Amino acid sequence: MFIGIDHGTTAIRFSSGDKEFKISRRAARDFAIRDLEKLGPVGDIQGIALCYSMGDNFSGITPIGKLANRGVVSREGAGEHIGGGTRVFDAVVESGLPAVAIPGLHRGSPTDTRFKAYSHQASPEKIGIAYEVHQLLGDDFVVSDVSSNTVTILVTGGRIAGALDACIFAPGTIHGAIDVDAIRKIDNGEITANKAFMQAGVNFSLPRSDRTRALALFSAMECAALRVLSPKARIALAGTCAPLIAVEVEALLGEKPTVFDEWCASRGLARIARDVFGGKREILGIGVRM
């Protein structure tokens, strides 16, 4: 059995490819390795692929025991630290089970160098999403993951070309880019930059009646923008909001997107674990450093 662990914004999702379960990040502070028995006997686990935070301190898929500082530059920055993801990561390390960590996309990643105008492109679970989508859509696609964040990844020729993160472009329900009003509040000492990021989503900026259409618009814009580099790339949506925006995205782009659900990342990570521990040494252009 191979397991994927998706460290999301609001929950941590676990998948064996056939079975799934999730727990809130707060509840995950009490996680124990025996909780994985919801997927099957712990003794049957042959490999795990997991994510932690931004994954910005390494650039290749790496055994978790070889990482410094759990693979992050710092726990400070864009996002909320609760402790659940830390507990899951540490429990897997302590278990001694074979496990690899997936890196995020950042300036050290093998993406198109033009995307490195920004320090961060995507968190590690987005690689899991891309790998799952790759199985169905092939080597050329763009996938927009829309939930608390909106992050969109472009894959061309079977390799990740680059991505647009929530703090750069499209808002999610909770997070988004820091705009002029937020900059003023930060400069005036009314709010921290991190807090501004965590209150820049459509749930804070728009009336309820406009939120879904806005998510669809900006997701479609990111897909269209990334297709400049790959005009024939197929379009996919993932995340909890994907089913809600699919019809509007189709109307905006004139093309029906393939819709994946909230388990896309954890299933893709389980698939990565199976392939990495089966001997594969590259995942969508990301090297494996065993």
Q: Which residues of the chain have pLDDT under 50?
A: none
Cα 219 to Cα 62: distance, rounded to the nearest angstrom: 31
Burial 143-162 (b: 16+ CB within 10 A, else e): bbbbbbbbbbbbbbeebbbb
DSSP class of 61: B
Listed as own residue / partner, the contacts of 88-91 with beta carbons closer than 8 Å and 24 or more positions apart are: 88/5, 88/7, 88/12, 88/28, 88/31, 88/50, 89/50, 89/52, 89/64, 91/31, 91/32, 91/33
What's the pLDDT score for residue 17? Answer: 92
pLDDT of residue 77: 58
Residue 73 has a pLDDT of 82
The radius of gyration computed from the CA coordinates of the chain, to the nearest angstrom, equals 18
pLDDT of residue 9: 77
Predicted TM-score of the model (pTM): 0.95
pLDDT of 25 reads: 85
Q: Closest Cα to residue 126, out of 266, 12, 25?
A: 266
Count H helices, E strands: the chain? 8, 15
